[in-house]
Amino acid sequence: MNDESPPHALPSPPQAEPRSAPQAAHGYRWNDEFAWLRSQRWREAMRDGSALEPDIRAYLEAENDYCTRSLEGLADLRKELFEEYRGRIVEDDASVPQDEGPWSYYQRYEVGGQHPIFGRRPRGGGEETVLFDGDAEAKGKAFFQVGACEPSPDHRLVAIAEDTSGAELWTLRFREVETGLWLDDSIQGTSGSFEFLDDRTVIYTVLDAEHRPRTVKRHVLGEPPENDSTLYFEEDPGFFVGLSRTESQRFVTIDAHDHDTSEVWLLDAESPSAAPVRVATRTVGVEYDVSHHGESLIMRTNAGGAEDYTLASMPLSALGADEARNSWRELLPPQAGRLRLGYHLFRNHLVVIERVDGLPQLVIYDLSDAQLTRERKVSFSEEVYSLGLVGAREFDTQVFRFVYSSMTTPQRTYDYDMSSGERVLRKEQILPSGHDPARYVAKRLMISASDGEEVPVSILHRADVPLDGSAPCLLYGYGAYGHAMPAGFSLTRLSLVDRGVIFAIAHVRGGMDRGYRWYRDGKLQKKRNTFSDFAAAARALGDRRLVDASRIAAMGGSAGGMLMGVLANEHSELFSAIVADVPFVDVLNTMLDETLPLTPPEWPEWGDPIRDASAFEYIRGYSPYDNVREGPYPHLLVLAGLSDPRVTYWEPAKWVARLRARKTDDRLLLLKTNMEAGHGGAAGRFEALEEVAFEQSFLLHVLGAM
């Protein structure tokens, strides 16, 4: 462990007052002495920070001040890093336009602008119409984020979802494109999910008092929002509701789901006043999503034991039937290890994005072949890479779009002709300050976990930095909800690598990096595999003398921040520093409180410790806050957001308070709470880069790589 001293003599850290707060469950009693850091008015405080109790605010601000003063000697480095990031950005950048009807839609940035500007031009070229100017709308607001800007089917209006608190509490507004005038319609308290059903009808989801999207409403433009009719209400507090529109534009889907079960209802755009119709009754453990093609519905599903998912079809005529599942017909047979991640339908083709052996691939099927026996794969040559399916805004087209990058190759946007197989490069990410991919090396290693599983580790290093045990390393991980960690390009990561740091990603269990089984083996009563996989990766990097074992830092956020908390408690000897970004570390107390926004929906991921004593004991055994020990810890930087509805601010605050009381070393322990943002941090693109510079300057300092 690196014992490098701070940049100057540290001020005295704040000490939160311990207050008695007895807790009990399943015959076990404990004291949560920092429970008072949870605001009694947390719902109000999440929306408006001024509602926070004075003693809580005083503690958070004292920690922020201590963090600032502790790292003030790194101010020049932070500025240097920020200028490097900015030098890699084309400031007046624009997305590749997407055609829809008579228009081409895109978003762009102005030089110096923080927020996107949404615009359109006539298809084929012509004068720009600005649909929404994010910079103009953000003026005077401490936080501003636009979540979506979507045109109505007749292209006369746009709907905008915007958040002004960071609490992911979205307001929907509507604007006439031709005149630029805002309609009086303003719908507050939404989750940001909405779809036009027709030119004047909008379907949207509403957040309940616990910040959960459970209600779907129909709004007719020009009518008072308080008169909006309720189309769907989800009775189960463990299910969230989202909306999407089929590529054919025929249906809006209402998707009710938790982490392993789903149920879909359809709204028919041809009958905009009709009630939604259920596709198939939910069955625990069965997931399906729905699109539409001709006289059929197309579904990606794990029904029938298809763990890595299959595609199936169902005739529209069976919609609404009691036993609709009986009409499902398999289109693509399931193949173990070939994980179907998603798909995009066109009139004549089907594009599926899959992951095989940890790497994504695109597969195209011609729908004139009813059996889908012929497939064409889009191939890539690099050893590790990232791939995203953009699709298209139109149904009747031969061309779809995808985005490719690798750890060494900047992002490239391609249009692919599904009939000819021609691939056209539409945009390549340019770094104005220069970038030579040959200066870097990316590779993938396999590390043996404690139970013999082979864990992929993606590595990026400068070509002239040898893997001989001399260089420091930053090891990143997540491992939850089935989210795989893409090995894509990062313009900020280069600043670490250029200074001799080896960057690595441990693709641990809990994600779907190696199929659904990889996820299943990293959740519930197998959650500890996530932690042991990451520790095994760090240990192997040192033992193989690929990196300097005394200078390994770990980093993760949200559920990956929980991983960081467990590592700090149980494997601190492996790491010289840990960065925990909005870390989910108060796992037991949060999962015991079903009034919190994410608790009931999270039980299929972590277990229900309220009703299940074995889940209680298992979570209690690893929950980072509950297992803080007396002893030394690595250098720690902990980041939080006051308005965060996902990982509430008091989780990292309580964890740091208990760490201060129990750790026995003088290494850095810093808590920085963004008092004006939530889970994603600052929304402005340059403000976000300043936050990255703060994190990286800390890492470079404690790793001795400045």
Q: Which residues are catalytic?
A: 558, 644, 679
Which string of b and e fits 607-631 if b means at least 16 CB within 10 Å?
bbbbeeeebbebbbebbbbbbbeee
Consecutive H or E run containing 706: none
Consecutive H or E run containing 695: helix 685-702
How far does Cα 403 stand from its chain's mean position? Answer: 18
| Residue pointed to by tokens 């079903």 | 594
Neighbours of 5 (CB within 10 A): 10
On whether the CB atoms of residues 398 and 418 are closer than 8 A, the answer is yes
CA distance 641 to 621: 27
Candidates 594, 578, 592, 597; CA nearest to 656 is: 578
Amino acid identity at 112: G
For 19, left (φ over 0), alpha (ψ -120 to 50), or beta?
A: beta
Alpha-carbon distances of 649 from 248, 589, 645, rounded to whole Å: 42, 14, 9
Give the list of residues 6+ apart from residue 666 with CB closer than 8 angstroms, or none: 10
Pairing of strands 577-581, 635-641: parallel
CA distance 222 to 219: 9
Give 259-274 as a 3 state SS string: CCCEEEEEEECCCCCC
Give the list of residues 6+ apart from residue 163 with CB closer than 8 angstroms, or none: 143, 144, 145, 147, 169, 170, 171, 192, 683
CA distance 169 to 205: 11
Alpha-carbon distances of 172 from 12, 192, 605, rounded to whole Å: 46, 7, 31
CA distance 646 to 132: 28
Consecutive H or E run containing 468: none
Pairing of strands 502-506, 473-476: parallel
Candidates 534, 573, 566, 555; CA nearest to 639 is: 555
Give the list of residues 6+ apart from residue 302 with CB closer than 8 angstroms, or none: 285, 286, 287, 288, 308, 309, 310, 516
CA distance 314 to 268: 16
Alpha-carbon distances of 367 from 221, 296, 328, 347, 654, rounded to whole Å: 38, 12, 17, 8, 55
Give the list of residues 6+ apart from residue 543 with CB closer than 8 angstroms, or none: 549
Which string of b and e fits 501-529 if b means at least 16 CB within 10 Å?
bbbbbbbbbbbbbbbbebbbbbbbeebbb
CA distance 193 to 438: 42
